[in-house]
Structure 1
Amino acid sequence: MEFGYGQIGGMTLVMLSCCWAALAKEECPQAIFAFGASMSDTGNSEAAFPYQSVAQSNPPYGNTFFGRPANRFSDGRVVLDFFAQALKIPLLSPYLQSVGYDFSHGANFAFAGVTTQNITYPATVTAPFYYWVQTKQFQLFKERTLALWTIASSRKGAQRSYVKLLTKPKHFQTALYFTTFGANDFIVPLFRLGLSIQQVQSNVSIISNAMVQNTEELYNQGARTLMVFNVPPLGCYPAFLASPRIRNMSTVDPHGCLATVNEAVETTNSLIRSGLKDLRSKHPDATIIYADLYTILKDLIVNGTSYGFKETFKACCGAGGGAYNLNPNVSCGLSALVNGQLIQGTSCSDPGSYVNWDGVHVTDAAASFIARAVLQGKHTEPVYKLTELCRLSFEQFSPSPP
């Protein structure tokens, strides 16, 4: 079995529909649209490939908050869920969800495992909804939504009731578009395609260009407030640290992270930051925010004990114990025969004290930390303190079911 390395990173574009600020005008918008990967995927990968994405469909995924698997790569909520809760809006429905949907507060296009660009995967890795595809899904969603509102405006009574589940036309421009991409552009080549770090590093400009170009594509579709998360510190992730092959290609920094991996990520992030700065100059009518996930998460991993975390490098859910609690043959929530012995990927007793959930995804507690930091304007460029622009609520950030 595999860890599911391709399930992290990617892109997230969120349209929040209640209190997100139309930052350029310093007012709160009425919707979220989310495009990205596992940091925001709330069920698109499961809807597209039912009964194939087995990891997040099994316990102990979801146990901390939902009490059951909720099609999220976490013991509870992902970062996007905390954004919605802070804004006091319902958790966003996946775009591909066929029943039980509610798009009145926006829609979620995020898809676990995706990359910024169209990488030719091996047959075992299927994630076709890369960044450009998600922007086109949004375009279609917007066109159909506006058409339905036009039809509904000429009708009365019950014939208009269905639009209550749709995003209001005026909210498409005032929404916050929230994107998180790039991690899978490292994970897939390194773990799936067997490339070296040096080979991946030679392509970082392609990754950053895709991030910037697709951000501009969203602008061309009417987005005016966009938040772009950079690539996290993958060299500090248990899955990277526990891989002998990846460790042999890197040096280890004083904190215990893989320096060569993080240097490649830092180069990518520098290019993304520069590209977004150019976009701001090109489109002064838009607010384009660079969210430094790398710095926020590395600080949490390196200084986790000062924030109340006990384990910052070890995966909560895995097998094998040791420094990282990972076995490459056993995924969280699944079992496998290893040397004739059946081994189960099980959860630790206190996920809230861990930063990392399954080797490549953060816990509910860590996602809460990340969301709060960004909402408070920490490590964002330009600096936007959304707590001052919106009446945010952090009451539901504790791990208690809704």
Structure 2
Amino acid sequence: MEPAATSSIRSLLYIMLLLYSSLPIATATSQGDESRQANNKHVAVFVFGDSLFDPGNNNYLYVSIEGKANFTPYGESLFEYPTGRFCDGRTVPDFAATYLNLPLWEPYLQPGSHNFSKGANFASAGAGVLEESSPDRLYSQKQLKYFKEVANLLKQQLGDAEAKKILADAIYLSSFGGVDYMTFIRSISNPTELQQREHVNKVIGNFTDVIKEIYEMGGRKFAFQNVGPLGCTLRMKQEYDLSGGACVEVLQEIASLHNSLLSNVTTKLQSQLSGFDYVIFDFFNSLKDMINYPTKYGFNVSEIACCGIGSRRGFECGRVKQYELCSGPNEYVFFDGGHQSEHANSILSNFLWNGGSDFTWPISMKQLYELNSTIPIEILSKDKLLFSM
């Protein structure tokens, strides 16, 4: 028989060995659970905007053919049929949905059942912030009205608490302003600096009201795509008969002013509104860089569209019999005169989601997604803020 002291020491060592060997297993299991929770995190997305984000809502509006893309060759690269997207395939919100493990967008106006717990896309081609810019489209206040209807439906289906949680965790992705400024310069061909600033202030002011209403309804995470380089689109270059890399400067100036004010407004909102978080995707400079240095991004052509008519194929993609169509959309920055190809959208959406460039600030959409939102007591206690119509 061994001494009692030796037996006690061996027992103690055995217990210590068991405890030590269990530590890596417990740590690994804990990390695995956290990883699974992150991967399974469900966040809804509500999309607002114009033709850059429209998944086909205009298919269900009584508007002219210029406001629709429900005919070939739109959709040819991915869907193999036209969906109503102004693209040969997916748009930026589609790629964002993929990053979030959500299905590709269906139009909000499409008849049939919808699972709004995953969000909704209200974007409408030709839609502006201001009603006068596009009275027959889903301008910003109409899209906001539809969002309020969705919020009420979620309340009825899931109950107050779950509906409020979905809205607080959701990301609100938007693209507005371009239509307001295109309409503006067509009504005033040579606006003064004062007229430009007054109009931009009006657009930004109305858009800020929309943001605040979404916030009052429980929204906390906002992703803004700013206004693109409107004067450098092929449609505008062809319309103004510009040569080489020249752009319509008045449109560039207005877009830049809008983007500067949007940055200022979001900074102020974050300081004024508790829990307000946001990301701005610099669509203006990222697309402009793509146009100026196409080979840097894997493109061969940036000054002619894949589809359309005219010197830059800037108009009439698919709408007239004699339109031209390229054989490889992935080689082109623009699919038609005013909208990017699917390949370009995939690169732009990567900037939005992953950040890590000068084109996304103050955080990336991925970081926005990972933030935990809290529902303030005043929102929990005041149904009228969340579900007012």
If the length of structure 2 is used for normalisation, what is the TM-score? 0.77
Report the CA distance shift for 1:389/1:118 in structure 2 as closer, same or farther (over 3 A).
closer
Choose the corresponding residue for 2:105, options 63, 72, 92: 92
Report the CA distance shift for 1:120/1:375 in structure 2 as closer, same or farther (over 3 A).
closer
Tell me the CA shift for residue 195 of structure 1: 3.7
Tell me the distance in 1 between the aligned counterparts of 2:127 and 2:307: 23
Q: Is the 1:115–1:183 contact (alpha carbons within 8 Å) kept by the matching residues of 2?
A: yes
Name the counterpart of 1:262: 252
Aligned partner of 2:156: which letter? A
Name the counterpart of 2:364: 384
Tell me the distance in 2 between the aligned counterparts of 1:207 and 1:267: 11
Tell me the CA shift for residue 289 of structure 1: 2.1
Report the CA distance shift for 1:216/1:382 in structure 2 as closer, same or farther (over 3 A).
same
Higher relative contact order (CA 8 A, sep 6+): 1
Identity %: 30
Tell me the distance in 1 between the aligned counterparts of 2:124 and 2:299: 28
Tell me the distance in 2 between the aligned counterparts of 1:53 and 1:242: 17
Q: Is the 2:181–2:251 contact (alpha carbons within 8 Å) kept by the matching residues of 1?
A: no
Report the CA distance shift for 1:217/1:168 in structure 2 as closer, same or farther (over 3 A).
closer
Tell me the distance in 2 between the aligned counterparts of 1:197 and 1:115: 19
Tell me the distance in 2 between the aligned counterparts of 1:202 and 1:136: 26
| Greater fraction helix | 2
User: Bigger CA drift: 98-107 or 299-308?
Assistant: 98-107
Choose the corresponding residue for 2:349, options 361, 368, 371: 371
Counterpart of 2:339 in 1: which secondary structure?
Answer: coil
Q: Is the 1:60–1:346 contact (alpha carbons within 8 Å) kept by the matching residues of 2?
A: no
Q: Which has the larger radius of gyration?
A: 2
Deviation per residue, 1:4-51 (Å, 9 max, x gap): xxxxxxxxxxxxxxxxxxxxx9x9552111111112211211123388
Aligned partner of 2:218: which letter? G
Deviation per residue, 1:153-191 (Å, 9 max, x gap): 9xxxxxxxxxxxxx9653221011111101101122334
Tell me the distance in 1 between the aligned counterparts of 2:293 and 2:230: 16
Tell me the distance in 2 between the aligned counterparts of 1:266 and 1:179: 17
Matching of residue 133 in structure 1 with residue 123 in structure 2: no
Tell me the distance in 2 between the aligned counterparts of 1:61 and 1:174: 34
Report the CA distance shift for 1:325/1:94 in structure 2 as closer, same or farther (over 3 A).
closer
Deviation per residue, 1:86-118 (Å, 9 max, x gap): 222111232211125343411111111110111
Matching of residue 37 in structure 1 with residue 37 in structure 2: no
Report the CA distance shift for 1:235/1:171 in structure 2 as closer, same or farther (over 3 A).
same
If the length of structure 1 is used for normalisation, what is the TM-score? 0.75
Choose the corresponding residue for 2:299, options 300, 309, 329: 309
Tell me the distance in 2 between the aligned counterparts of 1:120 and 1:297: 24
Tell me the CA shift for residue 306 of structure 1: 1.2
Tell me the distance in 2 between the aligned counterparts of 1:350 and 1:189: 35
Choose the corresponding residue for 1:300, options 290, 296, 319: 290
Tell me the distance in 2 between the aligned counterparts of 1:188 and 1:36: 16
Matching of residue 174 in structure 1 with residue 162 in structure 2: no
Choose the corresponding residue for 2:337, options 354, 359, 381: 359
Counterpart of 2:157 in 1: which secondary structure?
Answer: helix
Report the CA distance shift for 1:50/1:103 in structure 2 as closer, same or farther (over 3 A).
farther
Name the counterpart of 2:157: 148
Q: Is the 2:278–2:368 contact (alpha carbons within 8 Å) kept by the matching residues of 1?
A: no
Matching of residue 61 in structure 1 with residue 48 in structure 2: no
1:175-214 matches, within 5 Å, as: 175-191=170-186, 193=187, 195-198=189-192, 199-200=195-196, 202-214=198-210
Aligned partner of 1:136: which letter? K
Q: Is the 2:232–2:288 contact (alpha carbons within 8 Å) kept by the matching residues of 1?
A: yes
Matching of residue 326 in structure 1 with residue 335 in structure 2: no
Matching of residue 345 in structure 1 with residue 323 in structure 2: yes
Tell me the distance in 2 between the aligned counterparts of 1:384 and 1:202: 31
Name the counterpart of 1:223: 219
Aligned partner of 1:130: which letter? Y
Q: Is the 1:235–1:241 contact (alpha carbons within 8 Å) kept by the matching residues of 2?
A: yes
Report the CA distance shift for 1:275/1:65 in structure 2 as closer, same or farther (over 3 A).
same
Report the CA distance shift for 1:212/1:381 in structure 2 as closer, same or farther (over 3 A).
farther
Tell me the distance in 2 between the aligned counterparts of 1:144 and 1:231: 32
Matching of residue 114 in structure 1 with residue 102 in structure 2: no
1:10-25 matches, within 5 Å, as: none
Report the CA distance shift for 1:389/1:274 in structure 2 as closer, same or farther (over 3 A).
closer
Tell me the CA shift for residue 255 of structure 1: 4.5
Report the CA distance shift for 1:76/1:383 in structure 2 as closer, same or farther (over 3 A).
same
Counterpart of 1:178 in 2: which secondary structure?
Answer: strand
User: Unpaired segments of 5 or more residues in structure 1?
Assistant: 1-24, 154-166, 336-342, 391-402
Q: Is the 2:278–2:363 contact (alpha carbons within 8 Å) kept by the matching residues of 1?
A: no
Tell me the distance in 2 between the aligned counterparts of 1:204 and 1:137: 25
Tell me the distance in 2 between the aligned counterparts of 1:75 and 1:237: 17
